[in-house]
A = this chain, B = another copy of it.
Amino acid sequence: MATIYQVAERAGVSLSTVSRVLNGRKTVNPLLREKVEKAVQELNYRPSSVARSLANSRTDSIGVLVAELHTPFFGEMMQAIEMTLRAQDKHVIISVGHNDLAKELDAVEFLISRNCDALILHSEAMSDQDLVALQSRLPVSIINRHVKELDEACFCLDNESGGYSATRHLIEQGHKDIAYISGPGNKADAMLRLAGHKRALQEAGIPFSPESLYEGRFKEEDGINGLKALLAKDIKFSALVCANDWMASGAMSCARDMGLQLPEDLSIVGFDDVVIAHHVYPKLTTVSNPIYEMGEMAAKHILNKVYGQKHQLQHLYDAEMVLRDSVLSASPD
């Protein structure tokens, strides 16, 4: 591999001149510039990004922390990040945290030890304080979580309004008795979605009953257990909203196992519009989660912050209804 010295020699100029040409500095004689470019061509010279990083203490690499990768949600996020970053010649180093505090911290340290210029995080285990502390070490973007002190760096879905839309949609279809399977009480997004649900009920003058609420942990089996528990109670409901699609899918299998016809006997709406939403039967009506855009914005935020670019940023994202086949209009009784 040719080095910058050889280019300089071949072009009959000094190191510095080659470097200037390579970095597009204006102050170089067009004649020399041409010579250098010719030499670069002839030697098929490619600057060493490592040497460059050492010299200017920038690696052009961005670390991304995700909870896991085998899930389409994160895949989409990663793809958005990779595409927008590579277009600017930056590269992304991935690291998975498995939703575990120790592992997440470990992953972050790993990324930092790799001299990343910045980090993009989708963390559930780290505390707000951890994130604030991190931000003081290097620039970060935070996806799908709002940290007050890090307002600028956060890119979130409007979970409350999403939750609102979901049950609002059901109400508009004539449903009055609506059960809810929520995510864990310690997760902000889960609680916001639930809050939206309550607001929609209230607005329609329907009292919220804790009886018709089941708290799950966002897993498929929580959908199964949740619906089972709900059905066992002495309550009636013609519709169910699940705080994510996985639980909705679980609820669907459970419903069928219990002999219910879908969507005739029970309307279901999910949340996130993950790939499976389109493949379950009946196809799931759900709430979109524009993770692709969020990933893109998180990347652009880094581009602005670290590399002096000027992209327009959007921090809060609307959750929109994706209408499919799992909701039926309630027949007036």
Contacts and interface: CB of A to CB of B under 8 A. Distances in A.
Contact of A69 (B59, B78, B89, B95): B78
B96 A94 contact: no
Interface string A84-110: 001001011111100000000001001
A283 to B, nearest CB: 8
A70 B274 CA distance: 10
Contacts of A275: 70-72, 275-276
B82 A86 contact: no
A75 interface: yes
B75 A71 contact: yes
Contacts of A78: 69, 94
Contacts of A279: 249, 276, 279-280
A74 B72 CA distance: 9
Nearest to A79: B69
A68 interface: yes
A61 B50 CA distance: 12
Nearest to A46: B113
Interface in A163-214: none
Contacts of A61: 93
A248 to B, nearest CB: 10
A127 interface: no
A49 B76 CA distance: 29
- Residue from A70, A79, A83 having most chain B Cβ neighbours under 10 A: A70
Interface string A240-260: 000000000100110010000
A54 interface: yes
Contacts of A89: 110
A93 B91 contact: yes
Contacts of A280: 279-281
A277 to B, nearest CB: 9
A76 B74 CA distance: 11
A48 interface: yes
A70 B59 CA distance: 26
Contacts of A114: 49, 91
B68 A71 contact: no
B110 A83 contact: no
A115 B82 contact: no
A252 B276 contact: no
A178 to B, nearest CB: 23
A51 interface: yes
23 contacts: A49-B115, A50-B54, A51-B54, A54-B54, A61-B93, A68-B79, A69-B82, A70-B72, A72-B72, A72-B75, A74-B75, A75-B75, A79-B96, A83-B96, A86-B107, A91-B93, A91-B110, A92-B93, A92-B94, A94-B94, A249-B279, A256-B281, A279-B279
Given A70-B72, A91-B95, 12 more contacts: A48-B54, A50-B53, A61-B93, A68-B75, A70-B75, A70-B275, A75-B75, A83-B96, A92-B94, A249-B279, A276-B279, A279-B280
